[in-house]
A = this chain, B = another copy of it.
Amino acid sequence: MTTTKLVIIGGVAAGASCAARARRLNEFAQITLIERGPDVSFANCGLPYFIGGEIPERDALAVQTPDSLKAMLNLDVRTHTEAVAVDRAGKRVQLRHLPAGTTEWIAYDKLVLAPGAVPVRPPLPGIDDPRLFTLRSLADMDRIKAAAASAQRVTVIGAGFIGLEMAEQFIRLGKQVTLVELQNQVLPLLDPLMTRLMEDELRRHGVTLILGDSVERFAGGATLTCHLKSGRAVDTDLVVLCIGVRPDTALAREAGLTLGSRGHIRVNGFMQTSDPDIYAAGDAVETEDFVSHELTAVPLGGPANRQGRLAADHIFRPAQTRPYPGALGTAIVRAFDVAAGLTGWSEKRLQAAGRPYRAVLVNDNHHANYFPGAKPLLLKLLWAPDTGQVLGAQVTGLAGVDKRLDVIATAIAGGLTIDDLAQLELAYAPPFGAAKDLVNLAGFTAANVRDGLVTPVTELPDDPAVQILDMRPAALVQTHPLPRNHVINIPFPTLRQQLDKLDRNRPVVTVCALGKTSYFGARILAQHGFNVQSLIGGIRAHYDPRTPAKLPTP
């Protein structure tokens, strides 16, 4: 077996996975792992939880050390070491040892770039205030944890996945938390309705949510003040910026490797850059999108790990390596008791790209309704109108969110259609699911929409010419009336006897709590010749899901 000099730049997810797989494949290769920071292979995704104390032991996050990697994988690990230049013709990398600044060149046969990404810090006035933090490394984590000890008011900027985790963990620490988000919703990757439950949950736990606003400048002093575009000012003791990351690709750029439009390293399916002896993996690369085959960047731990592993495979056994299938962007976040996530494409992304799609929203419980502890789930399914192929899904709820996302991610990977979802044979016993799981229900509903059995409407109509038929039980209608004036109340079981209460010459929108009964009613009306649509997802999807008394008025 020939000895290969493998140099890997970046020692966390993609880099560490690459090194580990490389060692299994070649016991005799010289594998050097270069890391600018002090830590390698740490549990990046766990950082917020140590700050909040939900992960009590810091050691739990420091998965490996240079010594353990030497012992386990016989790696030459160089921490506090920066790669400053690549001599592609000479196949060598220049290293700078920190803090001394001494440099050396080391040779490679194959080079893997896994530099990751760095948090975005916009050039706003006051951005250099020492009370402003970003979170990427164990050192960042330690700094935030130390600063939080004496802070009472904490502001998190950006309500993406990490922003939500930070807000939750600061509440856990008893802080006053303000969460500022540019979009009019948290979790901007999701479609708006799908974040309502999460927003409700954050507010219930005391997070002050400021949506549709952003920081214009920070003003230092005894108190740090975040001045927002709206004119609002938020006094705070500590700010964590969670507004995204940008790929750390200066080295790749200087080496003349092809980069994408947003600065990511371009790779082929085997993670090879424009130089076939240089691979790249993780947050710094652009890969194919699984659904559209367009270029995309998905800075997440799962893809990074698998890409790093795949690069090692291609270096040591190219003939047997299967190309990266593309990224789905599957992601999930928990805050307090609520989870929300997505896989594949969202409606807003499909709209922005001008791709044809159809969508349904379905509500159900996470396991059999009759079994104690059933908790509500809301699922949005998007599919291609021509083929029925599943394009994406979003799920939110109090339990079982991850399972439905994983099932649909797998369905997308298998090219399954809405009809296939309807027929999936999932594990059912009362504590775990239902004879017709929410995923089956999404398939049924989507097929019903495709086949014209029901015409969904996504908002309550404002037009008083449209008859809004509220079929919920009378008690619910009374306690939680619909936020419209032109509503006709007919409880569903009496609908067949009361069809004459409806004007056959005017359109009807059927409404219920969950979107099932409204479908049932729409079927009856349609077969009686009415022009009828059904409010998809029911009231629960469209208005405050756990406190429907607080239905907004138009």
Contact = CB atoms under 8 A, between A and B. Distances in A.
Interface of A: 1, 13, 23-28, 43, 45-46, 49, 54-56, 60-61, 63, 68, 71-72, 74, 161, 165, 290, 300-306, 309, 317, 320, 322, 324-325, 327-334, 339, 341, 343, 368-372, 401-403, 405-407, 409-411, 413-416, 419-420, 422-433, 435-437, 440, 444, 451, 453, 492-494, 496, 519-520, 523-524, 527-528
Contacts of A409: 424-427
A332 B370 contact: no
A207 B393 CA distance: 43
B72 A428 contact: no
Contact of A407 (B303, B406, B520): B406
A415 B414 contact: yes
Contacts of A54: 371-372
A429 B334 CA distance: 8
Contact of A410 (B334, B369, B407, B422): B407
A413 B413 contact: no
Given A1-B527, A49-B371, A409-B426, A402 B161 contact: no
Contact of A61 (B320, B370, B415, B520): B370
A302 B61 contact: no
Contacts of A431: 334, 339
A281 to B, nearest CB: 13
B420 A414 contact: yes
Contacts of A28: 527
Copies of this chain assembled into the complex: 2
A409 B414 CA distance: 11
User: 7 closest Cβ contacts across the A-B interface?
Assistant: A414-B414, A71-B493, A27-B527, A332-B427, A301-B435, A402-B432, A60-B370
A24 B343 contact: no
A226 to B, nearest CB: 27
Nearest to A410: B410
Given A27-B523, A43-B430, A402-B426, 7 more contacts: A24-B519, A49-B430, A161-B429, A305-B435, A402-B433, A406-B424, A413-B420
Contacts of A496: 74
Contacts of A411: 410, 413-414
A332 B432 contact: yes
A317 B452 CA distance: 12
B24 A451 contact: no
Contact of A451 (B309, B320, B405, B420): B320
13 contacts: A24-B453, A46-B370, A55-B430, A63-B370, A71-B493, A165-B429, A306-B423, A327-B425, A343-B425, A403-B406, A406-B407, A406-B437, A414-B414
Contact of A24 (B369, B432, B523): B523
A433 B339 CA distance: 13
A402 B430 contact: no
Contact of A334 (B309, B423, B432, B440): B432
A459 to B, nearest CB: 24
Instruction: Point out which of A370, A405, A432 has the most chain B C-beta atoms below 10 A from its C-beta.
Output: A370
Contacts of A343: 425, 427
